[in-house]
Amino acid sequence: MLGALVGLTAEARLLRKVLPEAPIAVSGATLDGARRALATLRAAGATELLSFGCAAGLSPAMRPGAILVPERVCVHGRHYTANAALRRRFGADRADVVTAGLLQSDVLVETAREKAALFAESGCVAVDMESGLVAESGLPFAVLRVVCDDAARDLPPVACDVLSAGKISVPRLVGGLLRQPGQIGALMALGREAAVARKSMASFLRGL
């Protein structure tokens, strides 16, 4: 049975349209949350895993909306190969899909400088916070991710502290903007990139 690990509840809703019966667990975009979500999937009887949702671009070539079904996931210097059959199931053979490596990060990657350093060090084209745990699980796995913020994007401070239980917390968002209103422009730009990513992934899923 396939189980899916996602970062946010919005990602879970999107995936549910194509996996109506599969268990889907939400990490809340934290490492501890991802560990709990993975345990939930195991308890539900998952025998193979999908890591799904958004990723941050590390390569300058990875623009918002780029779809990634990587051949491998890099976790603390170790490389894990994704299952070929699962990758094909989730579109790896399509011409518009990027198959280069994905990097696991235990923390949110916030700045363009950090992204550039990780790209130079790892050679991976994108990064997320869930796929490494899926790769290390010992179960057959695949990753299906869409780039949201690209390699040149610095995340505004409010974007780094706005999530609660896998959702955007309106009080945190408003409070952060009141404290630092100068970040509104950067937040709006990030929102536009997120909209591009959602549209791209929704279109991709319809084609599977």
Kindly list the structural domains of the chain, giving each domain's residue range(s) and its CATH number in brackets, ordered by start. 2-206 (3.40.50.1580)
Q: Mind listing the pLDDT tens digit for each residue in 122-161? A: 999 999 999 999 999 999 999 999 999 999 988 776 565 5
Name the residue with higher pLDDT: 190 or 74.
Answer: 74
Q: What percent of the chain has pLDDT over 70?
A: 86
24-40 confidence digits (pLDDT tens): 999 987 888 899 999 99
pTM here is 0.88
pLDDT value, residue 183: 67
Closest Cα partner for 139 from 10, 21, 23, 9? 23
pLDDT for 138 equals 95
Measured distance CA(144)–CA(199) in Å, rounded: 15
String of DSSP letters for 104-172: E-SS----HHHHHHHHHHH--SEEESSHHHHHHTSS-EEEEEEE-S-TTPPPPGGGGS-EETTEE-HHH
User: In degrees, to the nearest 5, what angle opens at C-alpha 119 toward C-alphas 6 and 105?
Assistant: 35
Q: Which of 7-11, 56-60, 92-96, 170-174 has the lowest mean pLDDT?
A: 170-174
Q: What is the pLDDT at residue 164?
A: 42
86 has a pLDDT exceeding 60: yes
Q: What is the pLDDT of residues 157-179, one digit of tens each?
A: 656 555 444 455 455 555 555 57
pLDDT at residue 208 tops 70: yes
CB atoms within 10 A of CB 30: 18
pLDDT score for 108: 85
pLDDT over 70 (residue 79): yes
Per the prediction, the chain carries an average pLDDT of 88
- Specify the pLDDT at position 176: 56
